[in-house]
Structure 1
Amino acid sequence: MANDRQTVVLITGCSSGIGLKLAIHLANDTKKQFYVIATMRNLNKKEQLEAAAGDTLNKTLHIRQLDVCSDESVTECLNSIQDKRVDILVLQVKQRHAREFLEAWHSNHNAINKHIDLDAVYQPLRKRTGNDITTNPRNPIQEKDINRKQKKTASLHLEVTTDDVTKPVNNAGIGKIGPIESLSIREMKSIFDTNFFGAVRIIKAVLPDMKRRRSGHIVMMSSVMGLQGVIFNDVYAASKFAMEGFCESLAVQLLKFNIYVSMIEPGPVNTEFEMKLMDEVSHSTFPGTDSETVQFFKDVYLPASRDIFATMGQTPDTIAEATIKVIKMERPVFRYQTNILYTPLTAMKYADDTGNMSIRMFYNLLFNHGTCFKISLSCLRIVTCSWFRSGAVSPN
């Protein structure tokens, strides 16, 4: 139970990455001024957080279940908090649905003989939709199909059926990056359901108490892709643009109640998931996409993306430390870009009111001057030390 002198911080997405690091940093505050409620959708993945928490577990750090895509889960989580009091809400949302399907499928593939263990494999999707899910009777899954697909899990494209619609389940990577033709509308909606509507759902839930107390701080883990669109990240960037617009509008109203809104905007962040993601999509088939676009994606975009991550990528620890700087501000800033190397790229967009400058620059760097682009990144790696690459931009 938090005492009157502690600040109650609720953080979403704490099973790994930025959310986990932020929770640990705050819980280990030497003055013990933070009472951290670290949440995650699946409590079966709490081991890493528990191990990192050490002596702070169940003292300054408490783990709770929270699925931002579920009204019931949000309500249950807030009801478990004393007086439903949340002083600071930090939203670090994560994509999952298709990724969950693959994890469940992999964990059970050894048990496959002549059929799939549907109860285990489809459990995440059944829980998410609330519907019964079976194999499509018009396209039964045979053992030989499973063996073939097992060898190429990155291009897994099984069909599952709910009571109202048959839909494709692609690999997790396709849901975030790749040619737009390979994405179904349902997959696009899934991205928005988490990145936008999931965040809005929890914000709506905490606002009444914050307004009543006339105090609060909402911290949204956004991205530079909420400011600058990036090729082959179309839908993901769109979801971040939506969140930026929502929060920018909301921030004006909430100042009347002494509630601050802050957008943390990292550039590339080096996480294990990001590296696996790029490796995964490099082997994907992207059904419905023309061969020229697939070639551009695999031979131009992916190598450039890897170079950018190697040169400009920050660690989750660095992003967590930057977030804490904003949290501790007496008058928190609205926008905080963490990567000084990426700032000129987002600034360029606003330097030209036609929008042509940034679009043509990115086009030329990727498709016309690839060698120059690689040399520039190599030089940047040489002249900037590790501290400078991982440093956060001062908001002042």
Structure 2
Amino acid sequence: MERLVVLITGCSSGIGLSLAVRLAADPRGAYKVYATMRNVAKKERLMECVKGSRKDTMDVLQMDVTDQQSILEARDMIKEKRVDILVCNAGVGLIGPLEVQSLEVMRQILEVNVLGTIRTIQAFLPGMKARRSGRVLVTGSVGGLQGLPFNEVYCASKFAVEGVCESLAILLQHFNIHVSLIECGPVNTNFLANLRRPEPDEETLTRVDPRTRALYDTYLQHCDEMFQDAAQEAEDIAEVFLEAIRSQSPALRYYTNSALLPLTTLKLAARDGSQYVKSMSQFVFSSHKAQEP
């Protein structure tokens, strides 16, 4: 049986690591996994997790999705000279009042989340088209389906990814290539720890009005509660990826957390959006009443 070749971005931790381990440990040996990461010095945890698995089921490659040459070099190192399943998982987060976000930081977010995803797909799409076969799976977010306060730039990047994937899905069905978005809510990974955000006591926030600072503080408390109450484990998200990979007729979207669907449904149902905005505001800010300045 010829193994399916899978390339995954962002495998140093979290969802990418969990998915790479699950596929590499497949008891049938059905997959050859190329686990990529920007900094291969961080591969130790991944290698520890696959200890005991077949040694020929996974290779680790250096790949920076913000560097076109890095992507092409990784592609050229694939022994099979093809990728059957491409998983675009690399991503970064950014929260905080929009007024304090620098242009440089905002560009970095867009470079990774939007252009990084596009660059990666560009590199492997011609081969899939030529073979008339392939799967493209992208780590989406509830922040790509609905706006979240203090996440304006992150949501913009994820909304853009949704548009890219929807557009490609229409075209690529004519090449027998399936595109799927795995829509995640809060996940217990290093994503939150690595999230770029100003803390409430940072000097940068002194440029922001007191009311916004109070709401931001409330939002941070809300985030902490959400991660305590609703966050999923990376292994659970990997299971949803596996569902999409194994499906003979994969869907465009897979939702990992049903607890977040009501607000998404409300947004789609609201004609002018005003009811959704009110409901989202109550959902985020009602649990901790921000003090008036």
* TM-score tier (shorter): over 0.9
Query: How far apart are residue 281 of structure 1 and its match?
Result: 2.8
Question: What per-residue deviation string (whole Å, max 9, x for no partner) do you get for residues 165-211 of structure 1?
Answer: xxxxxxxxxx6010000101221111000000011001001011100
Identity of aligned residues (%): 42
2:34, 2:43 → 1: CA distance? 13
Structure 1 counterpart of 2:86: 89
Q: Which runs of 5+ in 1 are unaligned?
A: 96-174, 373-396
2:108, 2:198 → 1: CA distance? 20
Question: What per-residue deviation string (whole Å, max 9, x for no partner) do you get for residues 362-385 of structure 1?
Answer: 223444x4369xxxxxxxxxxxxx
Structure 1 counterpart of 2:142: 224
Correspondence for 2:68 among 68, 71, 74: 71
Matched to 2:182, the amino acid is I
Query: How far apart are residue 277 of structure 1 and its match?
Result: 4.5
Structure 2 counterpart of 1:51: 48
> Is 2:36 aligned against 1:39?
yes
Question: What per-residue deviation string (whole Å, max 9, x for no partner) do you get for residues 197-233 of structure 1?
Answer: 0110010010111000000000000101100111111
1:225, 1:91 → 2: CA distance? 17
TM-score by length of 2: 0.93
User: Could you tell me whether the CA contact under 8 Å between 2:86 and 2:136 is conserved in 1?
Assistant: yes
TM-score by length of 1: 0.70
Query: How far apart are residue 290 of structure 1 and its match?
Result: 2.3
Matched to 2:75, the amino acid is L
Q: CA RMSD in A?
A: 1.9
User: Could you tell me whether the CA contact under 8 Å between 1:264 and 1:336 is conserved in 2?
Assistant: yes
> Is 2:216 aligned against 1:297?
yes
Q: Which runs of 5+ in 2 are unaligned?
A: none
User: Could you tell me whether the CA contact under 8 Å between 1:222 and 1:265 is conserved in 2?
Assistant: yes
Structure 2 counterpart of 1:244: 162
Question: What per-residue deviation string (whole Å, max 9, x for no partner) do you get for residues 111-140 of structure 1?
Answer: xxxxxxxxxxxxxxxxxxxxxxxxxxxxxx
User: Could you tell me whether the CA contact under 8 Å between 2:198 and 2:204 is conserved in 1?
Assistant: no
Query: How far apart are residue 295 of structure 1 and its match?
Result: 2.1
> Is 2:263 aligned against 1:345?
yes
Question: What per-residue deviation string (whole Å, max 9, x for no partner) do you get for residues 95-125 of structure 1?
Answer: 3xxxxxxxxxxxxxxxxxxxxxxxxxxxxxx
- The SS at the match of 1:230 is coil
- The SS at the match of 1:67 is coil
Structure 2 counterpart of 1:29: 26
Query: How far apart are residue 58 of structure 1 and its match?
Result: 3.8
Out of 270-279 and 194-203, give the one that drifted further.
Answer: 270-279
Question: What per-residue deviation string (whole Å, max 9, x for no partner) do you get for residues 315-372 of structure 1?
Answer: 11100111111111001110011101111121110011211121111223444x4369
User: Could you tell me whether the CA contact under 8 Å between 1:50 and 1:57 is conserved in 2?
Assistant: no
Matched to 1:289, the amino acid is V
Alignment of 1:1-396 (within 5 A): 5-56=2-53, 58-95=55-92, 176-275=94-193, 277=195, 281-287=199-205, 288-298=207-217, 300-367=218-285, 369-370=286-287
Higher relative contact order (CA 8 A, sep 6+): 2
Greater Rg by CA: 1
Query: How far apart are residue 273 of structure 1 and its match?
Result: 4.2
Residues 354 and 279 (structure 1 numbering): CA distance in 2 closer, same or farther, change over 3 Å?
closer
Question: What per-residue deviation string (whole Å, max 9, x for no partner) do you get for residues 234-280 of structure 1?
Answer: 10011000000011011100000000000000111122441574997
Structure 2 counterpart of 1:152: none
Residues 58 and 285 (structure 1 numbering): CA distance in 2 closer, same or farther, change over 3 Å?
farther
2:27, 2:202 → 1: CA distance? 47
User: Could you tell me whether the CA contact under 8 Å between 2:9 and 2:16 is conserved in 1?
Assistant: yes
Q: Which aligned segments of 4 or more residues in structure 1 are displaced greater than 4 angstroms? A: 275-280
Residues 75 and 371 (structure 1 numbering): CA distance in 2 closer, same or farther, change over 3 Å?
closer
